[in-house]
Amino acid sequence: MTVLTEEMQIAFKAVKVFPLATASKSGIPNVVPMASVFLIDEKTIWIGDNFMQKTLANVLENPKAALYVYGAGAKGCLQIKADVTVKTSGEEHAKMKAMIQEKKPNLPAKSLLILKITEVYECMPGTEAGKQIG
């Protein structure tokens, strides 16, 4: 199983908004900015669904996603690929809802996307660009 190293986790925690890519079962791509993103452990990321439409539809029919980690304060650049599970109730969903509403009580936190990391790639320009690093 692929995990994020300590250095990757530090980069992840420096980013505030993450581009999340999904695709429909027929391959139509969708990319959206996500702010309700939580690194739960070295192999699990949670994303709160506040306003998803195409993204949610995509992961329900094609449970794969890619998350881009890059921005001010992040040392380096990563592309994280993951298998996605959607939860709309239960303990994990309730915890995610509390995490979101603690920061922004007006957000609905409708569903939880649980990303289990499957691959990590380098995405900084240079000779290592596109190399699998995890």
pLDDT at 1 over 80: no
Q: How many domains does the chain have?
A: 1
CATH number of the domain that 90 lies in? 2.30.110.10
Residue for token digits 């990321």? 45
β-bridge mates for residue 65, sequence order: 82
CA–CA gap between residue 20 and residue 30 (Å, rounded): 8
Closest to 10 in 3D by CA, of 75, 67, 99: 75
**Mean pLDDT score, 18-28:** 97
Q: Has residue 39 been placed in a domain? A: yes
**3-state SS string for 50-95:** CCCCHHHHHHHHCCEEEEEECCCCCCCCEEEEEEEEEECCCHHHHH
Among residues 31, 32, 37, 34, the alpha carbon closest in space to that of 12 is found at 37
Range of the domain at 46: 6-122
For residue 59, is it within any domain? yes
Measured CA to CA in angstroms, residue 2 lies from 109, 118, 133 at distances of 28, 5, 9
Q: Using one digit for the tens of pLDDT, what is the confidence trace for 51-108?
A: 999 999 999 999 999 999 998 888 889 999 999 999 999 999 999 999 999 999 999 9
Q: Is the pLDDT confidence value at 43 over 90? A: yes
In a domain, 1, yes or no: no
Give the predicted TM-score (pTM) of the model: 0.95
What integer pLDDT is reported at residue 74 of this predicted model? 87
* CB 122 within 8 Å of CB 78: yes
Instruction: Find the helix or strand (DSSP H, E) in which 115 lies.
Output: strand 111-122
